Amino acid sequence: MGRLHGKTAIITGATGGIGEATASRFLAEGANVMAVGRSAAKLEALTGRLGHAESLATFVAEATDEEATRASTDETVSRFGGLDICFANAGTEGNIAPLDVMTIEAFRSVMETNVVGVWLSMKYAAPAMRERGGGSILVTGSIASKIGFPALAHYIASKHAVQGLVKTAALELGPDNIRVNAIGPGPVDNRMMESIGEQMSPEDVAAFKAQISQTVALGRYATNDEIANLALFLASDESSYMTGSLHLVDGGFTAA
């Protein structure tokens, strides 16, 4: 029997690297999964890769759209009979620039997706989980929740804010047996880090990756699957006494 047998999960940002890897792990461990993303075409391609036709459904929605978030949660409950796990994973790095050059539109866009989107996921997952007698809310935080980094003021601020949401939600929802945790990836070999590299070192993205890798104790970027492994643990009953924390999976980036 799988570690998530009989449970239902909703995953935002499901077509990204971490989202897809986590959806795949959850399905393999027996969960029903509602995969939420902005692109119908990408969601269709995702279902083709993942299979599991009876236990996988998709929903097109923007993470910042309250009505769409409500509807995706309602559809999950209607389709699968309840909600046990919410992985608020949708996020963006935005347009990178020094803080005195960055536009207010760029700053607001990142805060909307990375903070408001997470709050909306929590807001609508909590009542559904309460009806089930508990659940697990996961958030994709970051090592950015603990550090600063030049030219990423909007992203850094958003991830610090997310950690505040996680701690507050854990206190509010604990009496309902709903756990709330953040995953804190370091550099991951996926689209977001590629985009950051292209923006910060357009003349030599490979050199940027090598430079960042040198700051990691293990000397490399994480794979999406390595992040999904932690998501699976935090979603499962194996982490039943863990809530309100940021759990780093950063290869030792923050060890120094």
**Dihedral-angle region of residue 86 (phi above 0 means left; psi in -120 to 50 means alpha; beta otherwise):** beta
Set 124, 155, 221, 241: catalytic member:
155
Whether 221 is catalytic: no
Q: Would you say the C-alpha torsion 108, 91, 99, 145 has a positive or negative sign?
A: positive
Give the residue numbers annotated as catalytic, written as ranges.
155
